[in-house]
Amino acid sequence: MENMKNVLIVEDEMQMQKLLSICLQDQPFVVKTVGTGEEAIQLLRSFEYDLILLDIMLPGIDGYEVLKSFRLIDEDTPVILLTAVGETGDIVRGLNLGADDYITKPFEPSELVARMNSVIRRFKRQPEQTNIIKRHGVMLDQNKRQFTLEDKKIDFTKKEYQIFLRLFMNPEQVFTREELLQLEWNGPEERFDRSIDTHIKNIREKIREVGCDKPLIETVWGVGYKYFSSTDLL
């Protein structure tokens, strides 16, 4: 049996939702459909998908904002924009924000399926070679999206992984709590809490649990956090 791919559809029009479901019902896709950008963000915080079909014109948080937020933490998962005929500016803006392709409404079902399969193939053809970065004994396998220390997996939650990845990939750069909060896609009412401090505490504890006694994350008082440089640990 062909390997099933998880697809998230973000579309607010009920008729278009039904049409998309019909188009894909005989394809090797497991489809989840939501009608708002807020719902999409909640799902993307918790689950991973092989492909996202994203309507630009959504109520509330529009497709641009969903895409922009998603690309902060995931630069690879393919995104196809759904857009109205003739909206060239929408297409260009979406592609500049990190979309992989687009399809205009109305569309032929066969064209939609062909474009979906095409971007999935391109994604799978990304370099298969080991893509490893190692700092202070901590190893990042970018293909597996996994951190290890001496072959012991560091069991981060998705949020912890996103935060640690941002620090790990930018050693010595100081990130404010506000910048790290953006990785969580919290609403304005949550942006001033201390959730980042809690996540950092948990990240440090999990790194210690796998045997790393080096202080990899430094608190920059009154500002935020940074990942230690190699010279800090000498």
DSSP codes, the chain:
-PPPEEEEEE---HHHHHHHHHHHTTSSEEEEEESSHHHHHHHHHH---SEEEEES--SSS-HHHHHHHHHHH-SSS-EEEEEETT-HHHHHHHHHTT--EEEEES--HHHHHHHHHHHHHHHHTS--S--EEEETTEEEETTTTEEEETTEE----HHHHHHHHHHHTSTT--EEHHHHHGGGT--GGGTTSSHHHHHHHHHHHHHHHTT--S--EEEETTTEEEEPPGGGG-
The closest of 71, 53, 73, 38 to 7, measured between CA atoms, is 53
pLDDT over 70, % of the chain: 88
State the pLDDT at residue 115: 94
pLDDT over 90, % of the chain: 43
pTM above 0.85, yes or no: no
Banded model confidence at residue 14, pLDDT cuts 50, 70, 90: very high
Q: What CATH fold (topology level) applies to the domain 5-124? A: Rossmann fold (3.40.50)
What is the pLDDT averaged over residues 140-159? 85
Banded model confidence at residue 234, pLDDT cuts 50, 70, 90: very low
Banded model confidence at residue 3, pLDDT cuts 50, 70, 90: confident
| Beta carbons within 8 Å of 225's beta carbon, 6+ residues apart | 167, 174, 175, 180, 196, 200, 217, 218, 219
Banded model confidence at residue 233, pLDDT cuts 50, 70, 90: very low
State the pLDDT at residue 114: 95
Banded model confidence at residue 75, pLDDT cuts 50, 70, 90: confident
Are 7 and 116 spatial neighbours (Cβ–Cβ below 8 Å)?
A: yes
Strand partners, 24: none
pLDDT digits (tens, 9 = 90+) for 51-65: 999 999 999 999 999
* Integer angstrom CA distances of residue 84 from 11, 56, 102: 13, 9, 10
What CATH number was assigned to the domain covering residues 132-233? Answer: 1.10.10.10
Q: What are the sequence ranges of the domains in the chain? A: 5-124, 132-233
Res. 17: pLDDT tops 90: yes
What is the pLDDT averaged over residues 107-134? 81
Of 127 and 197, more confident: 197
Banded model confidence at residue 135, pLDDT cuts 50, 70, 90: confident
